[in-house]
Amino acid sequence: MSKKSKLVDFRAVKEAVTMENVLSHYGLLENMKRSGDNLSGSCPIHKGTNPTQFRVSVSKNLWNCFSECKRGGNVVDFIARMEDVSPYAAALNAIEWFKLDPERVYSDSDRAAARPQEPRESKESASPAKLDAMPAPPPEAKPDGNAPNAPLKFRLDKLQREHPYLIDRGLTLETLVDFGTGYCEKGMMAGRIAIPIHNVDGQAVAYAGRHVGDPPEGIPKYKLPPGFRKSLELFNLDRAKKESGPLIIVEGFFDAMKLHQLGHRKVVALMGSSLSTAQEQLIHEHTDRRSQILIMLDEDDAGRAARNDIAARLAHFAFVRIHVFEEEGQQPEHLTAAQVADAL
Ligand SMILES: [Zn+2]
């Protein structure tokens, strides 16, 4: 580990984030039924349809699925299942999404740190009996399993391309049209910048809604449709796979759009700082031993904590390099064309 690497204090993350925060992040909270200390709904992990099989104890900050998943756990376990990533990567997600205080949630590697000792399955998740005061619901008639994200049956039209926020972020009209991105005035993404996400075959599977500017506390920067699993997609892969040259992996939509605009079109975004196993598989399918991959995550705690792990995983099947920015807080979106060429 480099000297800048940090270890995550899992306990601090679990204390700082509630299941309600996480459900709200996924747009699932409003669909849950509240009864006393409990929330119940259909299971977003295995995408069940039975509305009583997924339970949350608010006071204990634990969840449980009585159907296909047959297990439960804490907030970190929940994110790990939803994103299909390790508990470590899930904790990094939580830190990023809920803007947790780095002082609290990262510990220096020379202190007794949580990561090596954190069991992959925490005590809570190993004992769903803790929640057994709730009666188990009847088994689902027809479990629908880990289905892929279904193609959208609609398009958001009349998106406003030339919004001041988008111009401020340095995107040209051509790029915005190219990515189908714009400010949305009506519907579920009203008041947000709508960015269509396509699967590897080029079918639109969701819109991400970016808050215009920095959101107030408690409001997520990005809104995704309920049930959408971003861990199953890589933003822009449908087009990047047709380009030649090194594959650049970035965190955000805007990083990808900006690099594309600068002429580096073989770029995909993780839509976060973690690489899910499904995303790893997608990259594997579209690279070979001679392929070059450049990992260009944000120069912050989350990016630094994630990039070595991602590089190690991709190095099994491609030639991988990590880009390190000179200044704290820099991200691919800030680079000039010459700087990207340099990095490559
Ligand atoms: Zn389940």
Written in H, E and C, the secondary structure of 180-228 is CCEEECCCCCCCEEEEEEECCCCCEEEEEEEECCCCCCCCCCEECCCCC
Residue 298 phi, psi dihedral angles, 5° rounding: -60, 145
* Of 115-119, 181-185, 223-227, the least confident: 115-119
CA 11 to each of CA 4, 89, 294, 305, 325: distance values in angstroms, whole numbers, following the listed order: 21, 15, 33, 17, 30
* Distance separating alpha carbons of residues 290 and 268, to the nearest angstrom: 18
Distance 46 CA to ligand 1 centre (A): 4
What is the pLDDT of the chain when averaged over all its residues? 86
Give residue 120's pLDDT.
Answer: 43
Residue type, 128: P
> What distance in angstroms lies between residue 133's CA and the mean position of ligand 1's atoms?
18
Q: How many C-beta neighbours within 10 Å does residue 255 have?
A: 24
Reported confidence tier of residue 109, pLDDT bands at 50, 70, 90: low
pLDDT of residue 130: 38
> Measured in angstroms, how far is the CA atom of residue 77 from the centroid of ligand 1?
12
Q: Are 206 and 225 in contact, with CB atoms under 8 Å apart?
A: yes
The C-alpha atoms of residue 288 and residue 283 are separated, in whole angstroms, by: 9
For residue 145, how far is its CA from the centre of ligand 1 (angstroms)? 9
pLDDT in tens, 285-309: 999 888 999 999 999 988 998 999 9
State in Å, rounded, how far the first CA of the chain is from the last one.
Answer: 24
Burial 281-300 (b: 16+ CB within 10 A, else e): ebbeebbeeebebbbbbbbb
- What pLDDT is recorded for position 119? 43
Q: Show Cβ contacts of residue 44 under 8 Å, excluding neighbours closer than 6 positions.
A: 26, 28, 54, 82, 226, 227
Rounded to two decimals, the pTM is 0.66
Query: 162-165 — which CB contacts under 8 Å span 24+ positions?
Result: 163/193, 163/212, 165/193, 165/212, 165/213
- Average pLDDT value for residue range 174-185: 94
| Annotation: CATH topology of 148-226 | DNA primase DNAg catalytic core, N-terminal domain (3.90.980)
290 vs 69, 236, 246, 247, 286, CA distance in Å?
A: 39, 21, 10, 12, 11
Kindly indicate the confidence band of residue 144, based on its pLDDT and cuts at 50, 70 and 90. very low
The fold for domain 234-344 equals: Dna Topoisomerase Vi A Subunit; Chain: A, domain 2 (3.40.1360)
Percent of the chain with pLDDT strictly greater than 90: 63
Within the chain, all domains assigned CATH 3.90.980.10 are found at 148-226
Looking at domain 7-131, does it have CATH number 3.90.580.10? Answer: yes
Strand order in the sheet with 54-57: 33-35, 38-41, 54-57, 62-65, 71-73
Rounded to the nearest whole angstrom, what is the distance from the C-alpha of residue 206 to the centroid of ligand 1?
Answer: 22
Q: What does the alpha-carbon distance between residue 172 and residue 253 come to, in Å, rounded to a whole number?
A: 15
User: What confidence category does residue 108 fall into, taking pLDDT thresholds of 50, 70 and 90?
Assistant: low
Residue 5: pLDDT band (50, 70, 90) is low
Give the max Cα distance, the chain.
62
Q: Is 39 helix (H, G, I), strand (E, B) or coil?
A: strand
Give the pLDDT confidence score for residue 157 in this predicted structure.
81
- Give the mean pLDDT of 256-282: 95
Strand ranges in the chain using DSSP code E only, listed in sequence order: 7-8, 33-35, 38-41, 54-57, 62-65, 71-73, 106-107, 182-184, 192-198, 204-211, 222-223, 247-250, 267-269, 292-295, 319-322
Mean pLDDT of 135-162: 69
Q: Measure 30 CA to ligand 1 centroid, in angstroms.
A: 18
How far CA 239 is from CA of 94, 200, 244, in Å, comes to: 29, 8, 11
Say how far apart CA 293 and CA 315 lie, in whole Å. 9
Residue ranges of the chain that CATH labels 3.90.580.10: 7-131
Give the Å distance between the CA of 338 and the centre of ligand 1: 48
Question: In the structure, what pLDDT confidence band is assigned to residue 344 with cuts at 50, 70 and 90?
Answer: confident
Model confidence at 103, pLDDT cuts 50, 70, 90, reads confident
CA of 147 to the centre of ligand 1 (A): 12
| Å from CA of 73 to ligand 1 middle | 12
Residue 91, pLDDT above cutoff 80: yes
Residues 55, 16: contact at Cβ < 8 Å?
no
Distance from residue 146's CA to the centre of ligand 1 (Å): 10
Q: What is the pLDDT of residues 206-221, one digit of tens each?
A: 999 999 988 888 888 9
Q: Out of 71-80, 85-94, 192-201, which region has the weakest mean confidence (pLDDT)?
A: 85-94
Q: How far is the CA of 144 from the centre of ligand 1 (A)?
A: 10
pLDDT score of 30 more than 70: yes
CA angle 251, 253, 258 (to 5 degrees): 100
Given a cut of 70, whether residue 72 has pLDDT beyond it is yes
pLDDT score for 27: 87
User: Distance from the CA of 188 to the center of ligand 1, in angstroms?
Assistant: 26
Span from the CA of 68 to the centroid of ligand 1 (angstroms): 5
Among 113, 130, 101, 112, CA closest to 13: 101
Whole-number Å distance, alpha carbon 39 to ligand 1 midpoint, is 14
- CATH 3.40.1360.10 domain locations along the chain: 234-344
- pLDDT for 113 beyond 80: no
Region 56-76: mean pLDDT is 92
Q: Quick one: pLDDT at residue 152? A: 92
Q: For residue 163, give the nearest of 115, 211, 219, 197 by alpha carbon.
A: 211
CA of 50 to the centre of ligand 1 (A): 10
> pLDDT-derived band of residue 104, with 50, 70 and 90 as boundaries?
confident
